[in-house]
A = this chain, B = another copy of it.
Amino acid sequence: MGGYRRLVVPGRFQPLHRGHLATVEYALSLSEEVIVVIGSAQESFTLKNPLTAGERFEMLDIAFREFLGRDYRSRVLIVPVMDIAMNKVWVQYLKMLLPPFDGVVSGNELVRLLFEDIGLVALTPKFYNREKCSGTRIRELVIKGSPEWRECVPDAVVEYLSRVGFEERLRRLASGEG
């Protein structure tokens, strides 16, 4: 453990991929507890945010159980958080909603800027292969019908996504009007 009491790991998880798991593992190596924030919790059924926060919650639970162990909840909290229109108050908004935290682990510059802005810790995750496994690329592959996206996503998550009809939903959303 790296000395922190709690670190936040925010993400949209549309869907969860191996990069997210690596980030959570990295955060766990640095702190006693990790709060995984499911961001944009109000969004769903869009090309950028196909899954509901509830579905993402269940998906994370399944994946963490497999990758972090059956008792992962002893050290990881999952909290869906809706967007707030004001970046400048976003971290204070998280402080309102969550147990006390020391900082954030995120690959997103905006997120790190906002945590730094109020004097908190802002860390960049280590092993983060963004080109291959980003949510954007996964959703594009699904829409194109390419099965390649499954390489970025743990089997248990692929199975969960199949159960909720992730691929069909995304393709229907992409077909738009007609």
Contact = CB atoms under 8 A, between A and B. Distances in A.
Contact of A88 (B52, B57, B109): B52
Contact of A109 (B79, B80, B177): B177
A43 interface: yes
A99 B58 contact: yes
Given A58-B99, A99-B57, A176-B108, A89 B93 contact: yes
A134 B176 CA distance: 13
Contacts of A114: 45
Interface in A31-88: 41-46, 52-54, 57-58, 61, 71, 73-74, 77-80, 82, 85-88
A52 to B, nearest CB: 5
Contact of A43 (B61, B74, B87, B128): B87
Given A52-B95, A54-B98, 8 more contacts: A45-B113, A45-B114, A54-B95, A54-B99, A71-B71, A89-B89, A109-B176, A113-B173
